[in-house]
Structure 1
């Protein structure tokens, strides 16, 4: 009996220095999921990540950086993670995934005053230039589907400015962040009309491939405990009271 117990203790001890290493967590300005307020990160997914780190008792430094920088760092460096990241087939093999920590729908919207009706990708291809942030998951998905009228822009704000000034007819957005995106351009949801959904979206914490699988498994286990004890659902409803029961059930696996 001694040998298995001794081996378990030894393996546990060997893992301690690794688990004590600081984890660098990267995110970008993406209200209401992540944003700076008073010089500190805030938002729904920030709240989830901070609660996970608290439960694990590990130091976790959250840095607000441009998406491209965060994405590059997490592809290359151990003990790093990026959030929230929409999990897609194109990204599947690049990260170790913990989540989902938020779910929603990504769809196309027009100006209500334009009285457009766009029902599918075939009709979308006839709508002129479609500006989409080139680092977004939606750009990857649309490019993979062969859409020829894609125009990659640097930021969501660039897409919104083109839309606001009538340079493009449509925008693409997650339903949970649409309000905040429009508000940055002085617009409201009453001014836009939903056309159709491209895809459901599930956002995760994306850990670097070089991060210890043991560490990632610990984060997964604590997220599951947040589902079971109701904390994840409480956070989600607090930030997104408009969320549907279907979205809540998908988030918590009910």
Structure 2
């Protein structure tokens, strides 16, 4: 049987509806997956729920754009690998370095940060340049920006870097003299020291500031490279809105 040359209006309407549904499905893609790590006070699990300054900013952006997505906390190396290789993955809090610039689609800054090499006051370690640190053992976190920075400058895991999966291990190793130095973001270091019941002013000294680690200042949220640009733009607009309308400032006052 031949189809009519001029399909009836009902048939055309049905075909149009089907096309719209298919188009929306392609545009929507897979659900957004959000991955992070335990990096207090930026992102951390308390009483079974994720919180922290960066987490609250990400949640505010989700609310602003009307997006629902679960957040998973895991070791950084695993989160980093997922964000590199899967579609529609948002990762935070991530440092925007030159090495990572083309690996992710960047949304924007969600928290401030400053990197330092820390030492114990009693050790009296004097560092004028990064080269001075090469003869010491340094505690790092696997594949985080601090470790990547040191590796890119000729340091090596197993030689002068002791790599761990959890940030709190590094302060313990410094405290017990199992390492000489500890590379960390300042707010994370202060939080971990206080959490251990110690006074930061008595427990560590800033042996060397490391402004080059951060690249573009602040911790970011970023998408996996396979993510559609329209999704990235929508999150970027949402972040700009919460920064502009006072939501970000209110969150920052709670944590800084």
Indicate the TM-score class for this superposition, using the shorter chain for normalisation: 0.7 to 0.9
CA distance in 2, matches of 1:106, 1:206: 20
Cα RMSD (Å): 2.3
Encode CA deviations 1:129-167: one digit per residue, 9 max, x unaligned.
122122111111111111353333333233222211112
In structure 1, the residue matched to 2:144 is 136
Q: State whether structure 2 residue 60 is matched by structure 1 residue 48.
A: no
CA distance in 1, matches of 2:253, 2:96: 22
Structure 2-normalised TM-score? 0.82
Which one of the candidate residues 216, 234, 237 is aligned to 2:253?
Answer: 237
Question: Gaps (5+ residues) in structure 1?
Answer: 1-9, 241-254
Which one of the candidate residues 182, 192, 196 is aligned to 2:193?
Answer: 182
CA distance in 2, matches of 1:34, 1:215: 23
CA apart distance, 1:124: 1.4
CA apart distance, 1:184: 4.5
Which one of the candidate residues 140, 153, 177 is aligned to 1:166?
Answer: 177
Residues 68/230 of structure 1: CA separation in 2 closer, same or farther (3 Å cut)? same
In structure 2, the residue matched to 1:246 is none
CA apart distance, 1:192: 1.0
Secondary structure in structure 2 of the residue aligned to 1:205: strand
Residues 75/189 of structure 1: CA separation in 2 closer, same or farther (3 Å cut)? same
Q: State whether structure 2 residue 230 is matched by structure 1 residue 214.
A: yes
CA apart distance, 1:108: 1.1
Secondary structure in structure 1 of the residue aligned to 2:109: strand
Structure 1-normalised TM-score? 0.82
Moved more, 47-56 or 106-115: 106-115
Question: Gaps (5+ residues) in structure 2?
Answer: 1-18
State which structure, 1 or 2, has the greater radius of gyration over its C-alpha atoms. Answer: 2
Secondary structure in structure 2 of the residue aligned to 1:51: helix
